[in-house]
Amino acid sequence: MDNTLQTPTILRSDYRPLAWRVESVELDFRLDAEQTLVTSRLACVRVPGASGPLPLDGEDLELVSLRIDGAEAGECMRRTERGLEVTPGSDTATIEIVTRVNPAANTTLSGLYASKGGLFTQCEAEGFRRITYFPDRPDVMARYTVRLEAEQASFPVLLSNGNLVDSGELPGDRHYAVWEDPFPKPSYLFALVAADLEAMERSVETLSGREVLLQVWVEPGNLDRAGHAMDSLVNALRWDEETFGLELDLDRFMIVVVADFNMGAMENKGLNIFNARFVLARPDTATDADFEGIESVVAHEYFHNWTGNRVTCRDWFQLTLKEGLTVFRDQQFSADMLARAAGAEREASARAVKRIDDFRGLRAAQFTEDSGPMAHPIRPDSYQEINNFYTATVYEKGAAVIRMQHTLLGAEGFRKGMNLYFERHDGQAVTCDDFVAAMADANDRDMTQFMRWYSQAGTPVVRASGQWDADARRYTLTLAQHTPPTPGQPEKLPLVIPVAVGLIGPDGNDLPLRLEGDSAAGATTRVLELVEAEQHFVFEDVDAEPVPSLLRGFSAPVLLEIDESDARLAFRMAHDADPCNRWDAAQRYAERVILALAAKADADVPEAFLDAWGALLADESLDPAFVALAATLPGEGWLLERMRPADPAPLRAALMRVMRAIGERFADQWLGLYQRLEVRGPYRYHPADAGCRALRNLALRYLAAAGNEDGLNRAETQFEYAENMTEQFGGLAALVHSASPVAEDALDNFHTRFSSDALVLDKWFALQAGAWRWDEAAPPVLERVKALMDDPAFKLTNPNKVYSLLGAFFRGNPAEFHAADGSGHAFWAEQIIALDAMNPQVASRMARSLENWRRYTPALQTSIRTQLERVRDADGLSPDVAEVVGKALVG
Ligand code: B3K
Ligand code: ZN
């Protein structure tokens, strides 16, 4: 059966306010792993003047009873496709609903579910309806009181949102706790936890002098891994006070760790629930990147308390209202933390490293999404399954759209806009228009055209060209924009694009800029506003032909097209004062070389390219963290996006050739860097140290790729003796990414060392799934992936395991996944179907790894199409996966 015909589409334009308000919700849980009884008492009031029933969503629920104002509902209730509909006889009603659910059987990890003996909830976007019948939409904001009751031995800790108002023991070794959340909230922010946990606690004073209790709850025995999350939370709390004047509004703020979780973390009011991966860290188990990820996710969820919880979304189409804004806030926070740690002298470089990292992520995940069948505006107009829209577009491009407002209005103007937003909308469920209106009104600026960023999909292309007039001493920069068509949007209108520009003189120094009409020359970087399809910008007093440096700091989420010779790229790699563009020049040069090599198997790596690379490595004035980024080749996923038709096998071969060439040619430099940048003393998570470790690990990767004996020995020694995971894993990764026979022993050894550490094993799985075949005689990686699925530590029910083994293979290893015999594609279909029966959200995420199949060679397309159709026609397919494969096949 073609499942895609069954799934209804929901339209943004169909939004209607509900005829009822829910003033308060009293929830009573008799918790049990297999039979949890939920009683919900809703105080409902009809909206004056409105008519119609109250629809209650429900999914996978056993309805025990439903009473309206104490009486059996009878005729006043009917079953609908989405759940129930009740029609109270008067304008106010108390509806009491009793349902029964089975958390242990809930493998979707949405609603109430069991994980390692504890009970946890996940309600965003539509999980609350899997706990009780409720108008489960974000514009229904109510006050919640929650009573939890459970057996004391199995569930010693009982948590929910807000403040603990009562607790005690009950006969029969049972106990209870009552929690009250003083702030009205949508149902997606409800949470409970009943488990055996221990807390790390810290008390802090807020801006206004209130004492608040912070807790990080972990499994017993893990308290020594909670410190970094706690520090990050305190830093986030302070940052939001200092930057936006926003204070924690509860007496207590909790973070709880869970091992089975679909995504990173969840911002439930006062009770954030986290994937263990984004909390637990100790130097010997977590890498620098893990420490960084924890800091940013802890902050992200904390920042949601204002941007998401106090002001929430009217409907799910507005998701970027909270997500784009909160990602922007966490990016700014991380940049500030890095800058602070780096100190005044290195501050700019530290910020640039963060900016490059963020942009690289945007390009890899969002630009590719935007050119495929799932392309959508940051505020989509339709969806079949909302869980499919927690995307790079809504999050990362959404953040870039907020960043442009920050750029256009300035930090102060942006702050004024935020103040007005909270002044107007605190306690409300609002739209993206409301947010931009606050920005516009606070700054007295017309943002009508800017709003197109919210409605147009696709990555805009900015085409730039420059002309220098020697006689007039003028330089004219022409910028033209167009956005390619995307599904359902054949035509696009010009956007407001802030383009930060510098002009580099022949000596490599920036020129002071004087735009036509300016009285005097000013700064060396200016933000131009491109608002028409094409515009000319004239710079005066330009005595020699400059090299333009455009989109400095990645000032807009666009693709820049500009004709640049190899020599000019090398010049910008060496001289661009903007580190982001310096990185970009290196990336462009590498991309050009790699794609040319992929098209011509017997060509050599160009000497000029190697020289430019050598200059980068030799420049000791550069921050190691920056060099580590600049000297990393563009990601394979991005290169496939740039290659037409995309052909993973020759691309992989080209990448290997370039890596070997850089490893061989600069062996001495790499070994020198390795020696020079050694970090001594105990591990600390610090940008300077992390930068050195990153560059040393990169050196090992290049040396190992080239089969350099010294390099391989160093990788082995580092693997064996390092006292922190960053170096230990860096050594292992270098060995695995080489033809060295030592790799297998090292992998075994690592597995033995960490056999009981789920998070560390995730790295072990991912490394092998993503491995390249440096030794041509080695068996296909697919064989290893299949074998690893039988490892006792692997579980298809644990999302982290799925992401690290299957995700790393499907997304991170294109040359092996797209093997010419189609074996990878057939394996993909089997796994998607198996996963979908347990956890549609995870299945759908994995399914998306083939959505851009039309860019591949005809032979690969044929193979992929067969498997997409096989999944599409599978029995009982979820709407989640049906939407993804359906759109891919129609695309
Ligand atoms: N708001 C959650 C994401 C929920 C995803 C639901 N499928 C995490 C976050 O963005 O902070
Ligand atoms: Zn978020």
C-alpha to C-alpha distance for 57 and 80, rounded to whole angstroms: 9
| CATH number for the domain that contains residue 427 | 1.10.390.10
Q: Running DSSP on this structure, what letter comes out for residue 129?
A: G
For residue 52, give every residue at least 6 positions away whose Cβ sits within 8 Å of its Cβ, in sequence order, or none.
19
**Host domain of residue 205:** 22-274
Say whether both 332 and 451 belong to one domain: yes
CA-closest residue to ligand 1 atom 1: 266
Give yes or no for a contact between 133 and 123, defined as CB atoms under 8 angstroms apart: no
Q: Packing angle between helix 227-244 and helix 319-342, nearest 10 degrees? A: 100
C-alpha to C-alpha distance for 523 and 513, rounded to whole angstroms: 6
User: Can you list the alpha helix ranges (DSSP code H) found in 778-822?
Assistant: 781-788, 799-802, 808-812, 814-817
Residues known to be catalytic: 301
The residues with which 25 forms a beta bridge, in sequence order, are 42, 144
Q: Running DSSP on this structure, what letter comes out for residue 565?
A: -
C-alpha to C-alpha distance for 470 and 510, rounded to whole angstroms: 18
Q: 298, 329, 390, 878: which to mutate for ligand 1, most atoms within 8 A of CB?
A: 390
What tokens does 539 get?
Answer: 């710079």
CA proximity to 221, closest of 198, 238, 239, 244: 198
Say whether both 254 and 316 belong to one domain: no
**What does the pLDDT read at residue 2?**
76
Of ligand 1's listed atoms, the one at least distance from the Cα of 267 is 11
Residues with CB under 6 Å of ligand 1 are: 124-125, 263, 265-267, 300-301, 304, 323, 387, 390, 841
DSSP letter string, 643-664: SSSB-HHHHHHHHHHHHHHHHH
C-alpha to C-alpha distance for 182 and 310, rounded to whole angstroms: 11
Q: 323, 327, 395, 883: which to mutate for ligand 1, most atoms within 8 A of CB?
A: 323
Give the CA radius of gyration of the chain. 28
Distance 301 CA to ligand 2 centre (A): 6
Say whether both 451 and 489 belong to one domain: no
Q: Is residue 550 part of a domain?
A: yes
Of ligand 1's listed atoms, the one at least distance from the Cα of 262 is 7
Instruction: Give the number of the ligand closest to the Cα of residue 307.
Output: 2
Give yes or no for a contact between 832 and 847, defined as CB atoms under 8 angstroms apart: yes
Distance 110 CA to ligand 1 centre (A): 12
Give yes or no for a contact between 616 and 662, defined as CB atoms under 8 angstroms apart: no
Q: Is residue 847 part of a domain?
A: no
Q: Is residue 367 part of a domain?
A: yes
Instruction: Give the number of the ligand closest to the Cα of residue 301.
Output: 1
Distance 459 CA to ligand 2 centre (A): 22
Of ligand 1's listed atoms, the one at least distance from the Cα of 263 is 5
Distance 326 CA to ligand 2 centre (A): 6
CA proximity to 63, closest of 82, 87, 39, 41: 39
Instruction: Give the number of the ligand closest to the Cα of residue 325.
Output: 2
Distance 308 CA to ligand 1 centre (A): 11
Q: Is residue 394 part of a domain?
A: yes
Distance 841 CA to ligand 1 centre (A): 12
Distance 706 CA to ligand 1 centre (A): 42
Of ligand 1's listed atoms, the one at least distance from the Cα of 395 is 10
CA-closest residue to ligand 1 atom 5: 124
Give yes or no for a contact between 358 and 331, defined as CB atoms under 8 angstroms apart: yes
Of ligand 1's listed atoms, the one at least distance from the Cα of 264 is 8
Say whether both 113 and 234 belong to one domain: yes
Say whether both 222 and 124 belong to one domain: yes
Provide the greatest CA pair distance for the chain: 95
- 744-794, pLDDT tens digit by residue? 999 999 999 999 999 999 999 999 999 999 998 999 999 999 999 999 999
Q: 446-467 burial string, b = 16+ CB within 10 Å, else e?
A: ebeebbbbbbbbbbbebebebe
CA-closest residue to ligand 1 atom 8: 266
Distance 271 CA to ligand 2 centre (A): 14
Q: Is residue 132 part of a domain?
A: yes
Q: Which of 455, 485, 500 lies at the terminal end of a domain, its last residue?
A: 455
For β-strands 118-122 and 54-57, DSSP reports them as unpaired
Give yes or no for a contact between 197 and 158, defined as CB atoms under 8 angstroms apart: no
Q: 263, 307, 388: which to mutate for ligand 1, most atoms within 8 A of CB?
A: 263
CA proximity to 826, closest of 866, 776, 860, 795: 866
Say whether both 63 and 177 belong to one domain: yes
Per the structure, how many domains does the chain have?
A: 3
What tokens does 86 get?
Answer: 């009740």
Q: Which of 506, 521, 556 lies at the terminal end of a domain, its last residue?
A: 556
Say whether both 232 and 355 belong to one domain: no
Distance 492 CA to ligand 1 centre (A): 30
Low-confidence ranges of the chain (pLDDT < 70): 5, 891
Distance 108 CA to ligand 2 centre (A): 20
CA-closest residue to ligand 1 atom 7: 387
Instruction: Give the number of the ligand closest to the Cα of residue 324.
Output: 2
CA-closest residue to ligand 1 atom 3: 266
CA-closest residue to ligand 1 atom 4: 124
C-alpha to C-alpha distance for 141 and 139, rounded to whole angstroms: 6
Say whether both 433 and 476 belong to one domain: no
Instruction: Give the number of the ligand closest to the Cα of residue 124.
Output: 1
Residue 228 sits at φ, ψ, to 5 deg, of -65, -40
Say whether both 93 and 213 belong to one domain: yes
CA-closest residue to ligand 1 atom 10: 323
Neighbours of ion ligand 2 (CB under 5 A): 323, 326
C-alpha to C-alpha distance for 554 and 557, rounded to whole angstroms: 7
Q: Is residue 17 part of a domain?
A: no
Instruction: Give the number of the ligand closest to the Cα of residue 266.
Output: 1
CA-closest residue to ligand 1 atom 2: 266
How many C-beta atoms lie closer than 10 Å to residue 257's C-beta? 26
Q: 185, 258, 267, 312: which to mutate for ligand 1, most atoms within 8 A of CB?
A: 267
Of ligand 1's listed atoms, the one at least distance from the Cα of 301 is 11
For residue 585, give every residue at least 6 positions away whose Cβ sits within 8 Å of its Cβ, in sequence order, or none.
569, 570, 572, 573, 576
C-alpha to C-alpha distance for 299 and 285, rounded to whole angstroms: 21
Q: Has this prediction a pTM greater than 0.85? A: yes
**What does the pLDDT read at residue 4?**
72
Residue type, 243: T
Say whether both 441 and 480 belong to one domain: no
Q: 110, 122, 129, 266: which to mutate for ligand 1, most atoms within 8 A of CB?
A: 266
What tokens does 306 get?
Answer: 């204002």
Of ligand 1's listed atoms, the one at least distance from the Cα of 323 is 10
Distance 432 CA to ligand 1 centre (A): 18
CA-closest residue to ligand 1 atom 9: 266
Say whether both 439 and 515 belong to one domain: no
Q: Is residue 303 part of a domain?
A: no
Distance 247 CA to ligand 1 centre (A): 22
Instruction: Give the number of the ligand closest to the Cα of residue 328.
Output: 2
C-alpha to C-alpha distance for 310 and 637, rounded to whole angstroms: 38
Side-by-side strand order, sheet with 474-482: 534-539, 474-482, 461-469, 559-562
Say whether both 42 and 163 belong to one domain: yes
Give yes or no for a contact between 774 and 737, defined as CB atoms under 8 angstroms apart: yes
CA proximity to 107, closest of 795, 812, 867: 795
Burial of residue 18 (CB within 10 Å: 0-12, 13-18, 19+) is: middle
Q: Which of 496, 529, 556 lies at the terminal end of a domain, its last residue?
A: 556
| CATH number for the domain that contains residue 203 | 2.60.40.1730
Q: Is residue 501 part of a domain?
A: yes
Residue type, 124: E
Distance 266 CA to ligand 1 centre (A): 6
**What does the pLDDT read at residue 891?**
65
- List Cβ<8 Å contacts ≥24 apart for 246-250: 246/306, 246/422, 247/206, 247/207, 247/208, 247/210, 248/206, 248/212, 248/305, 249/183, 249/305, 249/310, 250/162, 250/163, 250/182, 250/183, 250/212
| CATH number for the domain that contains residue 480 | 2.60.40.1840
Q: 124, 274, 301: which to mutate for ligand 1, most atoms within 8 A of CB?
A: 124
